[in-house]
Copies of this chain bind each other. A is one copy, B any other.
């Protein structure tokens, strides 16, 4: 396997809870997404948590770091909530891991009829295979360096810092 996909949760993986009309985690949709995408890249999935990025702790980020370091692969995709994606990207960037790490996620969960989730996952698969060592965010059709990206919370899009 050449690519490790670390699943941590976020909007992309939310499901609808009929009991209360809210979105919640049941299980990851990433396996179904990659089947629908007919993705034949050489990848391995590793679901380490299913969390809103707001709920991520330093301990969770350390687990992601450890998972990146210990992976057999040098190319790593992390699916992640968008609200704190920049924070995790910077956290990992500071660790100077000698791997290509691409974070992605979605503004609209995969289970909706219209969703950015499949497109974003596609950009991440391509980026992780072509970008040099470093930490990146693949969102909105762009690939950002961890140190030059911010989430615009009014527009719900990722933008360059400078």
Are A107 and B141 neighbours in the complex by a CB distance under 8 Å?
no
- Shortest A22–chain B CB gap in Å is 7
Please, which residues of chain B bring their CB within 8 A of the CB of A108? 16, 18, 38
Number of chain A residues whose Cβ lies closer than 8 Å to a Cβ of chain B? 50
Any chain B CB within 8 A of the CB of A118? yes
Contact with A119, one of B21, B37, B112, B131 (Cβ below 8 angstroms): B37
- Shortest A94–chain B CB gap in Å is 23
Please, which residues of chain B bring their CB within 8 A of the CB of A6? none
Are B122 and A126 neighbours in the complex by a CB distance under 8 Å?
yes
Tell me how many chains of this kind the complex includes: 4
- Shortest A12–chain B CB gap in Å is 11
Residue of B nearest to A82 (CB): B18
Please, which residues of chain B bring their CB within 8 A of the CB of A21? 11, 14, 23, 52
Please, which residues of chain B bring their CB within 8 A of the CB of A11? 21
Chain A at the B interface: SS class:
mixed
What 0/1 readout, one digit per residue, does chain A (89-127) give for beta carbons within 8 Å of chain B?
A: 000000000000000000111011111101111111111
Contact with A143, one of B36, B129, B142, B159 (Cβ below 8 angstroms): B129
Are B112 and A40 neighbours in the complex by a CB distance under 8 Å?
no
Any chain B CB within 8 A of the CB of A73? no
Please, which residues of chain B bring their CB within 8 A of the CB of A36? 114-116, 119
